[in-house]
Structure 1
């Protein structure tokens, strides 16, 4: 929306980063089977601008699972209203920690698929 733009008329990087955090948070909460919190954002790359009216899609991949934390690679892709092609516009790595009911880090349950991440 126009209210999400910077002075040059492109969508603000902060808005994109916020949406990427939401997407990664969903992946983290599903894997953790509970509450998680963002603790670190690494390797943010803003590759292309996003314009008002573009459709933006977010894709996540869990790339590492530790004892209490997860690293999630997030990509944002845009598609204009007038074309069928998509362009990757942003990517980054977000680290989340699993939290217990008191908001303290808690161990993640083991998942056999986590071993595949290390391969």
Structure 2
């Protein structure tokens, strides 16, 4: 089975922490962007993050490495979606990859009125 990344981005010097490593907060933000893309597609509209849990950072990446974020829909509720995100880094000058972060995001679907709205059953998945 092949997976397509929801987003792909290169880590830049501005994305580092004071120790010169890629900042974990930047990784989490990229994962939230990828998960949000899936949530909006499945939910067919606006979706906002209401929680982020179960984060682990099993690897590290360097400036210039390419980050790919993969997401899977775990569960759906009446107005919510729970999405697992995995961040995989590819070394800049090779094909070597490693998982650098994992986490789970919960989204609530929002209607035009700014209030939670129900997930359309049988919609896009």
Common fold, TM-score beyond 0.5? yes
Q: How does 1:75-114 map to 2 (within 5 A)?
A: 75-111=86-122
Q: Give 3-state SS (helix, strand or coil) of 1:77's partner.
A: strand
- Do residues 61 (structure 1) and 76 (structure 2) align? no
Deviations 1:17-52 (A, max 9, x none): 011000000000000000110000010111111110
Higher helix share: 1
Q: Distance in 2 between matches of 1:69 and 1:76?
A: 22
Give me the TM-score of the superposition, normalised by structure 2.
0.87
Q: Give 3-state SS (helix, strand or coil) of 2:38's partner.
A: helix
Aligned residues: 114
Deviation for aligned residue 1:83: 1.9
Deviation for aligned residue 1:111: 2.4
**Contact 2:89/2:100 (<8 A) preserved:** yes
Give me the TM-score of the superposition, normalised by structure 1.
0.91
Q: Give 3-state SS (helix, strand or coil) of 2:67's partner.
A: strand
Q: Distance in 1 between matches of 2:89 and 2:65?
A: 6
Q: Distance in 1 between matches of 2:18 and 2:123?
A: 48
Deviation for aligned residue 1:16: 0.7
**Contact 2:90/2:96 (<8 A) preserved:** yes
Which residue pairs with 2:29 in the alignment? 18
- For structure 2, the residue ranges without an aligned partner over 5 or more in a row are 1-11
RMSD: 1.5
Which residue pairs with 1:117 in the alignment? none
- For structure 1, the residue ranges without an aligned partner over 5 or more in a row are 115-119
